[in-house]
Amino acid sequence: MKRATNLLLVPRRIQNLRFLSEKAAGNLAMEPGKKTTHFGFTDVDEEEKEKKVHHVFANVAKKYDLMNDAMSMGVHRLWKDYYVGGLQIPYNAKILDMAGGTGDIAFRLLRHSPTAKVTVSDINQPMLDINPSRLKWICANAEQMPFESNTYDLFTMSFGIRNCTHPQKVIAEAFRILKPGGQLAILEFSQVNAALKPIYDAYSFNVIPVLGEILASDRQSYQYLVESIRKFPNQDEFARIIREEGFERVTYENMTFGVCSIHKGTKPRK
Q: Tell me whether residue 177 is exposed, middle or buried, using C-beta atoms within 10 angstroms of its C-beta: 0 to 12, 13 to 18, 19 or more.
A: buried
CB atoms within 10 A of CB 240: 13
Q: Is the separation of the CB atoms in 60 and 221 below 8 Å?
A: yes
Instruction: Give the bridge partners for 152, in sequence order.
Output: 178
CB atoms within 10 A of CB 6: 9
122 in a labelled binding site: yes
142 in a labelled binding site: yes
Instruction: Give the bridge partners for 120, in sequence order.
Output: 97, 137
Q: Is the separation of the CB atoms in 96 and 156 below 8 Å?
A: yes
Vertex 80 angle, CA 79 and 84, to 5°: 120
158 in a labelled binding site: yes
Q: Taking Cα atoms as reference points, which of 60, 49, 13 lies closest to residue 231?
A: 49
For residues 119 and 155, what is the distance between their CA atoms, to the nearest angstrom? 10
Amino acid letter, residue 224: Y
For residues 192 and 260, what is the distance between their CA atoms, to the nearest angstrom? 8
261 in a labelled binding site: no
Kindly state the greatest CA–CA separation across the chain. 75
DSSP 131: -
Amino acid letter, residue 80: K
Q: Which residue ranges make up the annotated binding site for S-adenosyl-L-methionine?
A: 102, 122, 141-142, 158
Q: Which residue ranges make up the annotated binding site?
A: 102, 122, 141-142, 158
